[in-house]
Amino acid sequence: MSPSLYTLIEASLPQDRTRTAIEAPDRSRGPRIWSFNDLLATAARYAALFARLGLARGDRVALQVEKSPEALAVYLACLRGGFVFLPMNMAYRADEVDYLVGNAEPSLVICDPSVETSLKEICTRRGTPHLLTLDWEAGGSFVDAAAGVAEYDEPAACSADDLAAILYTSGTTGKPKGAMLTHGNLAANGVALRDAWRFTEADVLLHALPIFHAHGLFVACHCALLSGAKMIWLRKFDREDVIRELPRATTFMGVPTFYTRLLSGDDFCREPVAHMRLFTSGSAPLLAETFEEFRARTGHAILERYGMTETGMNASNPYDGERRPGTVGFPLPGVELRVMSDEGAPLAAGEVGGLQVRGANVFRGYWRMPEKSAEEFTEDGWFRTGDVAMIDADGYVHLVGRAKDLIISGGFNVYPKEIEELIDDMPEVLESAVVGVPHADFGEAGAAVVVLRHGFLLDEATLIARLKDKVANYKVPKRAFFVESLPRNTMGKVQKNLLRETWRGACEGG
Ligand code: AMP
């Protein structure tokens, strides 16, 4: 039986577990330092608390909290005890959280005190047995409850097929789907990345990504935990904090927006990063222009990789060989990629088609959506990524578009359909289309193109303000335009390509 991810992590830590696992700088109180011993002991205590609360293996633990070392320990506690970790973005509004809680039926929700009132209402209505709080400074009823737990249980004997986490990802239908990731999925991908990117216990990873998403939680934390590297743990990306901490780090992982922000001032230059070993980028396309400017300014070639919630990482530019801007490199060891025509035939090098993936990294399906899950797999067991790609004669994978019209704003996915439905629900609106347009800071942002009902009035600011009440800020279009009608093709489909062309310059200034 292959070991659980927890066993694998434990076995990968340095011999000397008094070494620092996490250092969380705090300008007012001085850094919080956790050794590997602290991290493991805290995870054991939390896992024991979950069991005392009556949680059984396979039960979900949902979190809507700020990033903290405690939140990472909750993840490890789930891995240790065989519970299923379910992180939620702090930016989610009550309606979004309500849907996730209703769909995933967690046995325990841990939330930031700022959202406790609304979660209390949701949990009562949905019959969630336990709700506890955790703030980013280690305060809250969850920490208090865990402090009283003295005896730990043995780690659960999880197998590779057991569920480790459910991460929700928005779908084209507008409703988020829970991607079920197993211990085996996460372990396979973590080891592949650690080895491909040469992580060792001598590394210090500057961690500025959120941990409710696969990038910050799995890609970053697994590289560190599976090699025994230290993490400098920033609550969020803050340009000044990152520049201050980089001299003490050896590696950094970012979404493209991090890199454009770092480059936005002259104080970011070669000297503080000369010693760095590796910068990686992913979750959205890194412009060749950003890659070149970063190289010119720092001497480093950013290593771009490609993955998705459902599959973990699929492809990566090489550690040693040539890192080609505008490409996501080669399939990772253990991962197969193929480009297929619409008719389902394999395409040759240089031809553009739908990208499919197969490997131990590929998820088990969407939570409680067997039909939707089956639809996304081919008969011969490949997962349809929804990305449109080309593999060139040298084997480099180029992503050329997204079949599903996804917008990626600052590294976060926005599915236009979800926003269009909210706009269409407004009484003044007849119909709408949301498209991605270039944005100086976020790479891409949503622009809403709206047709009003005859005789009704609505202005841009009101429309945007109403959306801000309903969904996370990053999903809200940055601009809204009012038109007489939407362009459609002969099949009646809205021609989003024309809208993207028309409003291309709408958000260029940021
Ligand atoms: P998520 O599930 O949030 O990780 O989003 C996955 C999607 O992000 C993929 O299907 C791609 O469309 C996109 N993506 C991830 N990495 C890259 C990249 N390096 N370049 C372009 N798109 C990317």
Contact 413, 171 (CB under 8 A): no
Residue with tokens 């780090």, as numbered in its chain:
249
- Asked if 84 and 60 touch (Cβ cutoff 8 Å), the reply is yes
- Tens-digit pLDDT profile for residues 181-221: 999 999 999 999 999 999 999 999 999 999 999 999 999 99
Average pLDDT of span 392-396: 98
C-alpha 82 – ligand 1 centre gap (Å): 29
Instruction: Tell me the CA–centroid distance for residue 37 and ligand 1, in Å.
Output: 35
Residue that wins the pLDDT comparison between 495 and 369: 369
Q: Where are the alpha helices (DSSP H) in 127-220?
A: 141-147, 183-196, 214
Mean pLDDT in residue range 490-506: 81
> H or E stretch including 297?
helix 288-298
Q: Say yes or no: CB of residue 399 within 6 Å of ligand 1.
A: yes
- Distance of CA 160 from the midpoint of ligand 1 (Å): 25
Indicate if ligand 1 lies below 6 Å from the C-beta of 304: yes
Q: Is 283 in the pocket of ligand 1 (CB under 6 A)?
A: yes
Sorting pLDDT into bands at 50, 70 and 90, what band is 24?
very high
Q: Are 269 and 297 in contact (CB under 8 A)?
A: yes
Confidence of residue 245 (pLDDT cuts 50, 70, 90): very high
Closest CA to 421 of 457, 464, 388, 467: 467
Q: Indicate yes or no: pTM above 0.75.
A: yes
Distances (CA, A) of 236 to 80, 84, 99, 152, 210: 27, 25, 26, 32, 7
Give residue 278's pLDDT.
Answer: 98
Rounded to the nearest integer, the mean pLDDT of the chain is: 93
Report percent pLDDT > 70 for the chain: 97
pLDDT, tens digit, 9 for 90 and up, residues 308-350:
999 999 999 999 999 999 999 999 999 999 999 988 999 999 9
Going by the DSSP 8-state scheme, the letter that residue 341 receives in this structure is -
Strand partners, 384: 356
Number of C-beta neighbours around residue 98 at 10 A: 18
Find the 385 Cα to ligand 1 centroid distance in Å.
9
Nearest to residue 442, comparing CAs of 257, 265, 292?
Answer: 257
The two structure tokens encoding residue 19: 């070494």
Atom of ligand 1 nearest to the CA of 399: 21
Rounded distance, CA 94 to CA 120, Å? 11
Smallest Cα–Cα separation from 391: which of 330, 321, 325?
Answer: 330
**Nearest Cα to 17, choosing from 230, 251, 250?**
230
pLDDT value of position 171: 53
Q: Is 308 in the pocket of ligand 1 (CB under 6 A)?
A: yes
The alpha carbon of 67 and the centre of ligand 1 are apart by a number of angstroms equal to: 22
Task: Give the three-class secondary structure for 231.
Answer: strand
Nearest protein CA to atom 5 of ligand 1, as residue: 308
Check residue 272 and give its pLDDT: 87
Region class of 99: left (phi > 0), else alpha (psi between -120 and 50), else beta: alpha
∠ CA 165-171-174, nearest 5°, is: 125
Residue nearest to atom 22 of ligand 1 (CA): 284
**Nearest one of 193, 350, 341 to 280, comparing CA atoms:** 193
Q: Please compute the mean of the pLDDT values over residues 69-97 and round it to a whole number.
A: 96
Mean pLDDT on 264-275: 91
Distance 308 CA to ligand 1 centre (A): 5
Among protein residues, the one with the nearest Cα to ligand 1's atom 9 is 308
> Is beta strand 20-24 parallel, antiparallel or unpaired with respect to 230-233?
parallel
Residue 407 beta carbon below 6 angstroms from any ligand 1 atom: no
DSSP 265: S
Decide if 440 contacts 316 (C-beta within 8 A). no
pLDDT of residue 467: 97
Radius of gyration of the CA atoms of the chain, in A: 23
pLDDT exceeding 90 applies to what percent of the chain?
Answer: 81
Helix (H) or strand (E) segment spanning residue 258:
helix 256-262
Q: Nearest residue CA, atom 23 of ligand 1?
A: 284
Q: What is the mean pLDDT of residues 405-423?
A: 86
Residue 126 has pLDDT above 80, yes or no: yes
Would you say the CB of residue 214 lies under 6 angstroms from ligand 1?
Answer: yes
Q: Say whether pLDDT at 173 is over 90.
A: no
pLDDT at 28 over 90: no
pLDDT in tens, 463-489: 999 999 999 999 999 999 999 999 876
Strands (DSSP E) found in 428-501: 429-439, 443-452, 479-483
Ligand 1 centroid to Cα of residue 402, in Å, is 9
Which helix (DSSP H) or strand (DSSP E) does residue 239 occupy?
helix 239-245
User: Which tops the pLDDT comparison, 233 or 404?
Assistant: 233
In the chain the domains, ranked by start, together with CATH numbers, are: 5-236 (3.40.50.980), 306-402 (2.30.38.10), 407-502 (3.30.300.30)
Does residue 402 have its Cβ closer than 6 Å to ligand 1? yes
306 lines ligand 1 (CB under 6 A): yes
Q: How far is the CA of 386 from the centre of ligand 1 (A)?
A: 10
Our answer on whether the CB atom of 328 is closer than 6 Å to any ligand 1 atom is yes
**Is residue 495 scored above 90 in pLDDT?**
no
How much distance in Å is there from the Cα of 285 to the middle of ligand 1? Answer: 8
The predicted structure's pLDDT at residue 172: 45
